[in-house]
Amino acid sequence: MHSSIEPAKKNSEVYCMSDYLSIFKRARSNKTITVEGNSFKTPYKKKEFKYNEIYDLKKLADETVFNRSKNNNGNQVKWLKIKRIRHLHEESSKIYFNYDMSVTFLYIDISKNTEPSQRLSTRVKKGKETTTPQTSVLKHFYLNSLPISEVKKRDLLSLCTKKIIPEECHGLYSSLPTATNQADRLPEPSIDEELSDYNP
């Protein structure tokens, strides 16, 4: 996908997100379709997400997934070597997978707590202490639009004043929320890119 977007972006002026959307629309995948003898590269399907359409799946997984490392044979799961993953609705607590594209699948029982965990709650019922998984609700990851630093906004508004950014984009940059404690840096990667294998 990136190899298709870069040529579409070449020689294009980008001042706001809508400009990127236009680039994405011009990008084409390598897959072709034939209509009346003429071949065309198919466009990518695009979906623009707003901040209130993004959910905190990591928190949900932390509260509901208790086993990520051991398969049904008790062996370590090698995530980066998995070739296929299958999920069955009637067995929602199991993730089936294999390493070789065969018809034989191993599975991970995510409801099985293989190690001591702080994600279990205890309660007393009829004089007995039982351990049960906590119930969890899918929550929004962002409650508001993400702010930028005040310094960055001043720089952007300065570009607007100098007419480097087109006038039709000035309202967008003027309305950007800011935060005094917001740092100008890229977010930390969730996975170490130098790791040869991944064991969540």
- pLDDT, tens digit (0-9, with 9 covering 90-100), for 177-195: 998 887 766 666 555 444 4
Cα angle, residue 130 at apex, residues 93 and 132 outer, rounded to 5°: 30
Report which of 133, 95, 135, 129 is spatially closest to residue 117, judged by C-alpha positions.
133
Q: Residue 192 domain-assigned?
A: no
Q: Residue 197 domain-assigned?
A: no
Which residue(s) pair with 40 in the sheet?
33
**Same structural domain, 59 and 129:** yes
Q: Residue 8 domain-assigned?
A: yes
**Same structural domain, 31 and 97:** no
Are 112 and 129 in contact by the 8 Å Cβ rule? The answer is no
Report which of 105, 106, 140, 115 is spatially closest to residue 65, judged by C-alpha positions.
115
Cα–Cα distance, 157 to 50 (Å, whole number): 23
The token pair that represents 83 in the structure block? 């070739």
Q: Residue 194 domain-assigned?
A: no
**Same structural domain, 77 and 23:** no
**Same structural domain, 97 and 33:** no
Report which of 119, 74, 77 is spatially closest to residue 99, judged by C-alpha positions.
77
**Predicted local distance difference test score (pLDDT) of residue 48:** 84
**Same structural domain, 107 and 129:** yes
Per-residue pLDDT tens digits for 112-138 = 765 544 334 434 344 433 344 456 788
**Same structural domain, 123 and 65:** yes
Q: Residue 22 domain-assigned?
A: yes
**Same structural domain, 129 and 71:** yes
- Domain of residue 167, residue span: 148-179
How many domains does the chain contain in total? Answer: 3
**Predicted local distance difference test score (pLDDT) of residue 63:** 85
Q: Which of 107, 133, 159 is the last residue of a domain?
A: 133
**Same structural domain, 87 and 126:** yes
**Same structural domain, 34 and 64:** no
**Predicted local distance difference test score (pLDDT) of residue 106:** 95
Are 95 and 110 in contact by the 8 Å Cβ rule? The answer is yes
Q: What is the mean pLDDT of the chain?
A: 79
The token pair that represents 177 in the structure block? 């929320």
**Same structural domain, 60 and 101:** yes
**Same structural domain, 92 and 112:** yes
Low-confidence ranges of the chain (pLDDT < 70): 1, 29-33, 113-135, 184-200
**Same structural domain, 76 and 33:** no
Q: What is the DSSP string of the chain?
A: -HHHHHHHHTT----SHHHHHHHHHH-EEEEEEEETTEEEEEEPP--PPPGGG-B-HHHHHHHH---SSB-TTSPBP-GGG--EEE--GGGTTEEEEESSS-S--EEEETTS--S--TTEEEEEETTEEEEEEPP----BS-SSPPPEEHHHHHHHHHHHHTTSS-GGGHHHHHT--EETT---SPPPPSS-TT-SS---
